[in-house]
Every structure is written in structure tokens, then in C-alpha cells.
Amino acid sequence: MKKTLVAYFSASGVTRRRAEELAKAADADLYEIVPKQPYTQKDLDWRDRSSRSSRENADASARPELAGAPIDVSGYERIYLGFPIWWGIAPKPINSFIDAHDLAGKDIHVFATSGGSGVERAVRSLQQDYPALSFKGGKLVHGTIRKDIF
């Protein structure tokens, strides 16, 4: 049996709820990706081009520092990677997480929450940024997550 990890970033709590449901349904361990500097409502204002999230999104090299120690992913074969979609792609804390962990040889399944965007562009962007990693597609999740999400 493959050991599974659900790693997620949630700015407002929506993705957290879906991640918790997925971890329970998949009998997986749960790890929250937490930025060292939490995002405020002002930081998340997508209409403000000077907001923190807007500036990070515009900078391909942005990698917000994460709080806490990295998790040892060596024992996991499958990783569910969850996040809210910002501007059609993953928020930069996801890049920080990927950069800080050796995910080579892992099956990575993306799940995302969104108020209007699909998940396909976010998955393609991650595949382009990390071509050596094995992304197995993605799902946009809204309601309660079942075990058979992927």
C-alpha cells in the first residue's frame, strides 16, 4: 500500500476543509503549507495590483518563506498537493514548498479550490516549472471530497 500525504496551502480556510476531507477519505497524513508571514485580507486583494499576492504572482521567481520545518517526504509515494487558484495558477507558497522538498519519484496529484478558474492551467504551469516531477493531473474540488477523487 502506498503511503500518502496531503500537503496544502489555504489562505481563507476553504482549501483547508477540502484537504482535511481528502486526508480522511484517503487515510493520508496531513501537512499544512504555512507562509512565515501570513496573508492578510489586504494582501489577498486581487483587484489591487500592489497587493502582496498580486506582486508575488507577477514575479515568477517569488518564493515566500515558509514557517516551520520542512516535512520528511521520503516515505511517501503519493502526494496530493492542494491550493486555492490565484490568477489561474498555484499561489507562490506552493513553489516554496516544492523547492524545499525532494518530490522526485513521487506521484503528485493536484487538487484546487477556485471561485471561477479551472485547474488545468495551474497544473500545466507546475509541469512547466518542474518538468522532472510527476504531476498526475488535477481536480477542481467544490463539495465534500470522496476517496475516489483521483
> How do residues 72-102 score in pLDDT, each as one tens digit?
999 999 999 999 998 889 999 999 999 999 9
User: Which residue(s) pair with 31 in the sheet?
Assistant: 7
Per-residue confidence (pLDDT) for residue 150, from 0 to 100: 58
Give the chain's mean pLDDT: 91
pLDDT band for 55, please (50, 70, 90 cuts): very high
144 — pLDDT class (breaks 50, 70, 90): low
H/E segment holding residue 29: strand 29-32
What is residue 86's DSSP assignment? B
Closest C-alpha among 123, 137, 112 to residue 18? 112
Q: What is the dihedral of CA 104, 14, 50, 52, to 10 degrees?
A: -50
Q: What is the per-residue pLDDT across 96-128, written as a single tens digit (0 to 9) for each? A: 999 999 999 999 999 999 888 889 999 999 999
* Spatial contact of 142 and 19, defined as CB atoms under 8 Å apart: no
Residues counted in the chain:
150
Q: How far apart are the first and last CA of the chain?
A: 16
Per-residue pLDDT at 148: 60
